[in-house]
Amino acid sequence: MAVKRILLAEDDRDLRGVYKRILATAGVEIEEAVDGLEALAKMKAGGYDLVLLDIMLLKKDGLEILEELAKDKPVKPNKAIVAVTNLSSDPIMDQVLRLGAKECLNKSGMSPEKLIELVNKY
């Protein structure tokens, strides 16, 4: 069975480190994107089993990334994009889902168990 490829698009270094430590226990291959431009470039190349996409990224936010991907499809499809945010705006969450994310989750509810559950789900 192939190792799952995950893109972690998160600009907060500490939070990215926490997510990486948790995901490492799931035996997945983790790539990072530290800002929106890097995330967009990696997502356009595609081929990820799961993309954890922060909505409030530096240089280009998650909504802009999803809008660009809707217009210009990735080279290889990304199987699932899950948006993570501290925003609690229903219109933003609705827009994220309309643009192709499978889920939109609040970072405050992102327990280690939930993160591993996402990997197993997608």
Return the CATH number at 113. Answer: 3.40.50.2300
- pTM passes above 0.75: yes
pLDDT tens, residue by residue, 87-118: 777 788 899 999 999 999 888 888 889 999 98
- What is the span of the domain harbouring residue 64? 5-121
pLDDT tens, residue by residue, 1-34: 678 999 999 999 999 999 999 998 888 999 999 9
The total number of structural domains that make up the chain? 1
Q: Can you spell out the DSSP letters for 56-71?
A: S-SSS-HHHHHHHHHH
pLDDT tens, residue by residue, 33-84: 999 999 999 999 999 999 999 999 999 999 999 999 999 999 999 999 999 9
Cα 6 off chain centre by: 8
Pairing of strands 50-54, 29-33: unpaired
Q: Which amino acid is at 78?
A: N
